Structure 1
Amino acid sequence: MTTTSSSTVERAFRAALYAGTDDTLDTGASLLAADPEADGELGRRGREFVATAWRRGWQPADVVRIVRRELDEVHVRLVAALIREQAPYDGPRGPRWSAQLAELPTAPPPRTDRFTRATAVLELYRLLLRLPPLEPLDPADAAPGGSAPAAGSGRARPESRVLTRVRALLAKAEATGYPEEAEALTAKAQELMARHSIDEALLAARTPGDGSGTGAPGACRIGVDPPYEQAKAVLLDAVATANHCRAVWNEALGFSTVVGFAPDLEAVELLYASLLVQAESAMTRAEAAQRAGGRKRTKAFRQSFLAAYAHRIGTRLAAAAEHAGTEVGEADARDLLPALASREAAVTERLDRMFPETTTTRLRGVNDAAGWTEGARAADRAQVRARPRLG
């Protein structure tokens, strides 16, 4: 870094990052475009912005999501490159963080003239500079250096065979063109997840302090993308509740934070993603039937459809979870109820610490009777109730 390049970057930042107008953005981009030697310092400052985001509680997927939501694809590619460049300096962060790094877009930013690229970089930095603090999902995320947790924290546990089977079942459910097959696959996946959660709770109750990672709840963020964010947030909340988790929706930033034990969080992520795909597929079929009957496709129909789907799915998931708990043996049942009560209390305590103040909201725009009816029917066809035990 030379004094000249550092001065160029500082002048560009003063012009573009804090005033926030197109004219000042052009001024900053012009300064950077005229000084190729400033590129190295510009990249270093970008990595600093990324590191600051980590200290504020953000994670790679969160940053990519907000950049995609607020800016364009070129900015997504730029921030993905910055995150990868910063990664060697972050230290170990655990499997969930590593998975987010592995899912970063790999396409490089498009080749453009220097002024256009500098403009995009400054637009990205302006957004990164203004990211608000988030609730840390893990104590390591709040530490200045982002140090890794102590050995035995459970963050490096491999995915269980049950969740591998669940993932495969839901992938088949999403891919099949036959609704009955999708229903059966989803129901089988839900059954396996419910059993897995019960097994984990019993194991934790009988082997306290075994270092398995089930001793304390964790948290993750799941994107809730437009359109119809409210209905999708309700669906996610229903899935979380049925799987012994709690969800808090951040409407402004486009995600929900889900608090729960590690196996349950994985189940929520898998089932929510699959149900969302299946709901949108069912909505497309319902809209086609509506058009065939002479009715135009409307926003109100889609909003009402997804709201009804979320409401009905929540009811049925809760019933399935309750039914799964009744299938355990008598000896297990004596341990299960206090184990589940203890885990629920731990999840609630963690949620209250992360979010001491929350509010409730009502769904808006749910006023299409046909949409509500079709959404409820689609949820009924999902058949998420518990099934007989597998052999």
Structure 2
Amino acid sequence: MTSTASTAERAFRAALYDDTDAGLDTGASLLAADPGADAELTRRGEDLVATAWQRGWQPADVVRLVRRELDDVHVRLLAALVRAQAGRDRPRGHRWAAQLEALPEDPVRGTDRFPHATAVLQLYRLLLRLPALEPLEEPRRAAGPAASRTLTRIRALLAKAEATGYPEEAEALSAKAQELMARHSVDEALLDAAAPAPDVPGACRIGVEPPYEQAKAVLLDAVATANHCRAVWNEAFGFSTVVGFEADLEAVELLHTSLLVQAVHAMTRAEAAQRAGGRKRTKTFRQSFLAAYAHRVGDRLAAAAETQVARDLLPVLATRELAVTGRLESLFPRTTTTRLRGVSDAAGWTEGARAADEAQVRARRRLP
């Protein structure tokens, strides 16, 4: 064992297998005193990242956890490690590539060796203790040019619907976006039914960020169900795993994001009205508002889903939903339903329900 490797090994033994501050200080001191150990320390960090991928984690999952548990400097250290490890990793699909593209680009700024070594070891402590997650696979069949063009149009329409200050224009834009979502989903279902080797359901993880993450998880579950997908919330790590076919997963991501933006805008307006009436803004108002919003939007989406597809396509979709259920049960043999708790503000609930009724979600017209 070389002296640099020996330094890294002794630092790991002191800091990573001992949760005390004293162990962390000892490890950081060893690394700070031996600049020759830097390359070995980076190599071991890349190995920890690769091990995280083997345990089912993805770049966005780890970034989300590090941002929640540690500080910005740790996020930037992680981004540098993930980028370095990606150079010797295998191709993993378009979702993975998009997560790599979204990594923070700010470089780790120069700092004294001891604080830098401390931050590195704190990050490595977290990576070393990551539990195994359900492994997710990218879809076998990539989206064709027509599907990519459709999704680009949907994104543009929803962005305009979120940005406009005119409710009528937002309604028209969102209705068109949902019409395209429905047609895209049906087109993909028919294409898959005719394929010599039908596709299988995949899965993706969508972050459910605080505050009020429970209501956000319920909203995501409602959007997933209406779009022939299923969602399972992992409260401890701040994400939901959504299982479904690729076209439907894309629709869930887009619609959920759009509805969250609309919900926040509506909540801001409702709070302003409450303050104008003499009431102070409260956490219970916001929590009850978003809970009601999620509940009511779920009802509206469920009603829309019942009329959006012609009856002659129901057998095709039923087969796909059975496949989604099978995939869900294989990933999550034991699941529980997410229930809303802590709803205690009547005004917040009323305003949230009203905002949901005004949200840009309406029944898609029946397809020919």
Residue 292 of structure 1 is matched in structure 2 by 276
SS in 1 for 2:231: strand
- After the TM superposition, which of the residue ranges 181-190 and 10-19 deviates more from structure 2? 181-190
TM-score normalised to structure 2 length: 0.96
SS in 2 for 1:133: coil
Query: Quick check: 1:183–1:381 contact (8 Å CA) kept in 2?
Result: no
Query: Quick check: 1:169–1:189 contact (8 Å CA) kept in 2?
Result: yes
Residue 51 of structure 2 is matched in structure 1 by 52
1:314: how far off?
0.9
- Taking the TM superposition and a 5 Å limit, the aligned residue runs for 1:275-286 are 275-286=259-270
Query: Quick check: 1:9–1:41 contact (8 Å CA) kept in 2?
Result: yes
Q: Among the aligned pairs, what percent are the same residue?
A: 77
SS in 2 for 1:291: helix
1:157: how far off?
4.5
Amino acid of the structure 1 residue aligned with 2:196: G
- After the TM superposition, which of the residue ranges 240-249 and 98-107 deviates more from structure 2? 98-107
2: distance between equivalents of 1:114 and 1:183?
56
Q: Given the alignment of the two structures, is residue 267 of structure 1 paired with residue 255 of structure 2, yes or no?
A: no
Residue 294 of structure 2 is matched in structure 1 by 310
Query: Quick check: 1:187–1:382 contact (8 Å CA) kept in 2?
Result: no
Q: Given the alignment of the two structures, is residue 378 of structure 1 paired with residue 355 of structure 2, yes or no?
A: yes
Residue 160 of structure 2 is matched in structure 1 by 172
Q: CA 1:359 to 1:313, structure 2 compared with 1: closer, same or farther past 3 Å?
A: same
Residue 180 of structure 2 is matched in structure 1 by 192
Deviations 1:56-76 (A, max 9, x none): 001111111111111111111
- After the TM superposition, which of the residue ranges 266-275 and 187-196 deviates more from structure 2? 187-196
Q: Given the alignment of the two structures, is residue 337 of structure 1 paired with residue 321 of structure 2, yes or no?
A: no
Q: CA 1:7 to 1:241, structure 2 compared with 1: closer, same or farther past 3 Å?
A: same
Q: CA 1:285 to 1:34, structure 2 compared with 1: closer, same or farther past 3 Å?
A: same
Deviations 1:345-372 (A, max 9, x none): 0000000000001123431111111101
1:383: how far off?
3.5
Task: Select which of 323, 327, 337 maps to 1:360.
Answer: 337
Deviations 1:235-292 (A, max 9, x none): 0000000000000000000000000000000000111111111101110110011001
- Taking the TM superposition and a 5 Å limit, the aligned residue runs for 1:227-238 are 227-238=211-222
Deviations 1:304-344 (A, max 9, x none): 1001111111111122222211xx4xxxx43x111011001
2: distance between equivalents of 1:24 and 1:269?
43
Amino acid of the structure 1 residue aligned with 2:45: G
Task: Give the gaps of 5 or more residues in structure 2.
Answer: none
Cα-Cα RMSD: 1.8
2: distance between equivalents of 1:123 and 1:54?
19
Task: Give the gaps of 5 or more residues in structure 1.
Answer: 141-148
Amino acid of the structure 1 residue aligned with 2:28: A
2: distance between equivalents of 1:361 and 1:239?
14
Residue 203 of structure 1 is matched in structure 2 by 191
Alignment: residue pair count: 367
Deviations 1:143-200 (A, max 9, x none): xxxxxx9xxx214655532211111011112222334433332232122212211222
2: distance between equivalents of 1:338 and 1:156?
23
TM-score normalised to structure 1 length: 0.90
Residue 136 of structure 2 is matched in structure 1 by 137
SS in 2 for 1:106: coil
2: distance between equivalents of 1:188 and 1:373?
28
Residue 227 of structure 2 is matched in structure 1 by 243
Poorly superposed stretches of 4+, deviation over 4 Å: 156-159, 387-391
1: distance between equivalents of 2:279 and 2:263?
20
Query: Quick check: 1:235–1:272 contact (8 Å CA) kept in 2?
Result: yes
1: distance between equivalents of 2:91 and 2:357?
44
- Taking the TM superposition and a 5 Å limit, the aligned residue runs for 1:106-117 are 106-117=105-116
Query: Quick check: 1:67–1:76 contact (8 Å CA) kept in 2?
Result: yes
